[in-house]
Chain A
Amino acid sequence: MKYSAFILAMAALPAAANTEINGMVEAKCVIQTDTSGVYGNPTADKLSTASSDGGVIPVVRYDVAIADYYLAKISHPTEFSSSPALSDTVTWTGETSVSQTSDAGMSAYDTNKVVYGSTTEFDLTIAGSTWFKTTSTASYGFGKAFPGGNYTAIVVAECIAK
């Protein structure tokens, strides 16, 4: 009888429950293609992404969730991934730099970048998003005209855990 009264009393209490929402922020790097790049053809022997040459500079965005966990390595092209048959050599130049940041401190990335060969390395010491722009120029032979056709080249964007 006592037990029945107790159970009834409990049932009369308003029901309440706590529901937890759990989340975790882990070290993570996301590479995102932000802006399409296009080669302009200002002279017959030159392809260039510079806006003054009629091109569009490609931009890649890196998002890192936690500071100081990743290195960004971006390489400008040193060959065409597809092109018409070329009988002469192509001279490649390029450069990668910071174009936009989500944190003012990231502007130091440009000062501290390390360049070797066609690769530029940035130490991602601050959490957030950084946009990198990569210029690319290809010059053909000695003043020779590039054959007509489609040319494609690849920028390699790497994110390496430190």
Chain B
Amino acid sequence: MKALQTLLLATALALPLPALAIAQAEILNVSYDPTREFYRDYNQIFARHWKQKTGAAVTIQQSHGGSSKQARSVIDGLKADVVTLALAYDIDAVGEKGGLLSVDWQSRLPHNSSPYTSTIVFLVRKGNPKALRDWDDLVRPGVSVITPNPKTSGGARWNYLAAWGYALRRPQGNEARAREFVTALFKNVPVLDSGARGSTTTFVQRGLGDVLISWENEAFLAVKEFGADRLEIVVPSASILAEPPVAVVDKVVDRRGTRKVAEAYLEYLYSAEGQDLIGKHFYRPRLAEAVKKYERQFPKITLFTIDEVFGGWPKAQKAHFDDGGIFDRIYLR
């Protein structure tokens, strides 16, 4: 059975493997979808920094895709030195199901191992024709909402939890009301794309829907890409603090002898230079100076965390998104 799996995996991974075998100082960063542009730039500044510091050259390969799909590739044997995913739950899975890193990974780096944060905002059409200002407007009848499928997309899970958290934290909010709210919200969703990028395409290119619930950085990117004359960003009164975490994959770096450079790669994300680049790519930085520099870019918004409202990812995942969970029950009746 083991041999079988190895055989299958070898076939599946035949492409990236030779690339890894040749060069010495080479690390692979397995990440999620919207970080593509950020890490392309970051890899350059880190390589420069590493060369200055140690005199050694380093090449960083990057791989992107849906967060859980990426985690699954790593569990199945993709040799990732570092993982930088959309949610802690996916890195937990790499530890638990793959046994590739220790359970305490999240306490190894500052800020829960999340060097940047983001949040969930709305993208609407120019002029905001349906006057959508806050979460409550999204459940109005006749408003069409675009969001990806929480079963397949990490970003969509943040969207869902942001809506739930908003409803729960309202005056007189409770579980039952939050469930009603989220049910009403998803009744307004005509299409569930499998990933965040897919939803952006549906909203912008296909012209479907009145509002897209989106990562903040993805919304900025869409406005930059498609023009401020077509789209605008609406910031709700409250939203969730999304903390996309990063971790070194212990088993892989120890086998390949890349621990030092992999750790430096993640630590440098917290440096002044790294944090500045983070702000430039529309993620919210952690470092005070960078926060100040990009203050005007990010509107003030009340942010709640997943730990406060849901008691952490494993609990939220189990209650809401696992098979038979609350999200499934919205559609069954």
Do A and B truly interact?
no
Could you tell me which B residues sit within 8 Å of A by CB distance?
Answer: none
